[in-house]
Chains A and B, each alone.
Chain A
């Protein structure tokens, strides 16, 4: 009823091909973005910003990058944590070593460094596929784990191996309060999401999807696999690198290499798998699931224990959280193997017919 396209006639190719072709979609997205920019800072307290929203935004950006590689180009990667680390440390070094470097410039340069590194570690994908490629990208993870611990230059010869940045400055606006950090990350995320959506609908995205679906056939019809795969690695690593720079500089403020360990890589991969591979919106759903759900369980379990009069120790909460989280992942993958994004698009399809399903 609300979602019918009756009476909407497109009069130009441009209006037919635009990203949100249906006006209801367009208005809804604009409303959500406006609410995110204007409404949330007024409604939400500091804890929700620091602990939930800012990690959610930054990890969505990283999941977007991983989705481009895994979901759109079909190259499984277990090295996303390493590329986040490369982005973070590169941004740190650009910021520290070049005086007068603006923070956003350092973050973008960090992303570009991660893109270059991604191309280098993406070279195995030209020969190796599937799970074996996952193992090859694992090499990236361990290599960079080692490099940031051992090579003192990366950490500016810090004796502890831990680096920190002062408050970042964006054209005179000092980003120190949680609201500032939230708006900064949100702005970057919105810009990058629009860019990603356009990329995957364009020439490059179609090449990626062709390689994903049947790479031999794609090669036969003239799509160069090296170009497609390496650009996928480059773009994906750029996104992941910028997310890593944001994670270190905006969210943590002070970090050590363990912040980008293999657990982070697994977390990003799971976000993409559960959220929906090959769907931009899937990255957001996956990030929300993985960031918010553990905290939600952590708050909920003592409350449930209280209903039954049980004193729940923090160790028990932690263990139950892991068990429930794992069970929910299995449940979602059985119910909808294509991820939450598929559930969402099925919902939308139903909405187009509601209230007259057939």
Chain B
């Protein structure tokens, strides 16, 4: 009895004391710190874990290559479970450590929305390579958001161009029906605006079919699809929702060849369980696909995994999401390098300097090849007003065993995207009372 009461009292005291304990932050000279907001648990873990592995591996590789002009990278992982409040808590916990975070990549559109509020105050760039708000491409309004290399409007645009090409011309899309099966969250809703704009332009119908988180309940959705028989189905899912969609498509007999997923719905975890049932399923490739034969992967295997220092299982190396994480880290490192070019090679850079660096990334094909990305990526050039840097994408298809590229390179149509981006960012600027930056502001 006494022991029980003592144990209870001790645990309450411990809880009370812990709230006041503040861990001292270790200061590090000449080291760039990056918080890694990852999710290795929860419904989205099968897709989040390979991304985090690729991300951390590239930072390890950079250190193995000698750092960025001698400056080593450090990082700390934090589990967000794809939940916005946990993501915000991780960000708050890590942003001041080791001298301050240089940039943060939330890997969740929900967390991105929340951090978009906080980043300008803390002066830490939020890199959302291939996700986030599509209008954050406009760096004049979203000064601290970097949707590098791809946004959802650009991706949806490429998909429309591709099916237009398949039909023999964008005008042949008149009267066709496209169903969008999307995750019922800001992430899934992103492409709707672009699809509706394109539908007005070319005369096709868009059928919107939301799927509630976590996305395992899709029987009703696919029965609706079987009834309405759309010509194409676009899939904007994440985590287990993707494999469920493909399984349901197989169950209701919808041809997988007519399904097109976004680049977050086109990776090995989505199709491996379904196996042959996913044969013919297409997805966007945000420039890269699965690249096991690229130079950078060979380097990772040789310098890290062969010595037992790799992150995650060796089988993941070179797969689609691993490459996505790798490329996200590469863009981050190149931002550091660009910033060092202005503020001093071999010196630690701050968040504000990193922002300048990210706005002045100038990776031509030679530089990319030098880093090991020959044949994987096309040149990336960011600027103050364009935080995306590149609008290239292509389509890859699952053949039952691996992903193969099945299309040429497409580019998002600026004539369609630019007005939409400007309109949406103007609305945001008005709502938040932000004064858009001028080119003079950017030079500082």
A314 and B38 in contact, given A176-B121, A256-B186 (Cβ under 8 angstroms): yes
Q: B190 an interface residue at 8 Å Cβ cutoff?
A: yes
A160 and B189 in contact, given A149-B210, A166-B431, A318-B79 (Cβ under 8 angstroms): yes
Q: Which residues of A contact B121 (CB under 8 A)?
A: 176
Number of interface residues of B (CB under 8 A): 47
Q: Are A159 and B424 in contact (CB under 8 A)?
A: yes
A-contacting residues, B410-441, CB 8 Å: 424, 431-433
Q: Are A258 and B40 in contact (CB under 8 A)?
A: no
A-contacting residues, B176-221, CB 8 Å: 184-186, 189-190, 192-193, 210, 213
Q: B163 an interface residue at 8 Å Cβ cutoff?
A: no
Q: Which residues of B contact A50 (CB under 8 A)?
A: 88-89, 92
**Contact code string B68-100 (vs A, CB < 8 Å = 1, else 0):** 000000000111010011001100110010000
A255 and B84 in contact, given A164-B117, A176-B121, A292-B18 (Cβ under 8 angstroms): yes
Number of interface residues of A (CB under 8 A): 45
Q: A135 an interface residue at 8 Å Cβ cutoff?
A: no
Majority secondary structure of chain B interface residues (helix, strand, loop or mixed): helix
Q: Which residues of B contact A293 (CB under 8 A)?
A: 15
Name the distance in Å between B114's Cβ and chain A's nearest Cβ: 5
Q: Are B186 and A296 in contact (CB under 8 A)?
A: no
Q: Which residues of B contact A159 (CB under 8 A)?
A: 189-190, 192-193, 424
Q: B123 an interface residue at 8 Å Cβ cutoff?
A: no
Q: Which residues of B contact A296 (CB under 8 A)?
A: 15, 18-19
A162 and B22 in contact, given A314-B79, A315-B79 (Cβ under 8 angstroms): no
Closest to A56 in B: B19
Q: Which of B84, B113, B213 has the most CB of A within 10 A?
A: B113
Name the distance in Å between B47's Cβ and chain A's nearest Cβ: 14
Closest to A295 in B: B89
Q: Which residues of A contact B185 (CB under 8 A)?
A: 161, 256, 258
Q: Are A315 and B84 in contact (CB under 8 A)?
A: no
Q: A336 an interface residue at 8 Å Cβ cutoff?
A: yes
A253 and B117 in contact, given A166-B432, A258-B185, A343-B8 (Cβ under 8 angstroms): yes
- What are 25 A-B residue pairs whose CB atoms fall within 8 Å in the complex? A45-B22, A46-B92, A46-B96, A47-B22, A50-B88, A51-B89, A159-B424, A160-B113, A160-B190, A161-B189, A164-B117, A166-B433, A252-B84, A252-B114, A258-B213, A259-B84, A288-B15, A288-B19, A289-B15, A299-B18, A314-B40, A314-B77, A314-B78, A315-B40, A318-B79
Contact residues of B with A, CB < 8 Å? 4, 8, 11-12, 15, 18-19, 22-23, 38, 40-41, 45, 49, 77-79, 81, 84-85, 88-89, 92-93, 96, 109-110, 113-114, 116-118, 121, 133, 184-186, 189-190, 192-193, 210, 213, 424, 431-433
Contact residues of A with B, CB < 8 Å? 45-48, 50-52, 55, 149, 159-162, 164, 166, 176, 252-256, 258-259, 261, 288-289, 292-293, 295-296, 298-300, 313-315, 317-319, 328, 332, 335-336, 340, 343
